[in-house]
Amino acid sequence: MSEIAGKTVIITGASSGLGEATARMLADKGARLMLAARREDRLKTLTDSINAAGGEASYQVADVTDRNAMQALADQTRETYGRIDVLIANAGLMQLAPLDKLKVDEWDAMIDINIKGVLYGLAAVLPTMREQQSGHIINLSSVAGHTVFPGAAVYSATKYAVKALSEGIRQESNGEIRATNISPGAVETELTDHITDPGAQEAANELYSVAIGSDAIARAITYAIEQPGDVDVNELIIRPTQQQL
Regarding beta strands 56-61 and 32-37, do their DSSP bridges make them parallel or antiparallel, or are they unpaired?
parallel
Among 123, 238, 243, 109, residue whose Cα is nearest residue 181 = 238
Q: Can you tell me the distance from the alpha carbon of 230 to that of 55, in angstroms, rounded to the nearest whole number? A: 27
> Looking at residue 187, what DSSP letter applies?
B
Phi-psi region of 30 (alpha: psi -120 to 50; beta: other; left: phi over 0): left
The catalytic site residues sit at 155
Sign of the dihedral through C-alpha 71, 54, 20, 221? positive
Hey, is 68 helix, strand or coil? helix
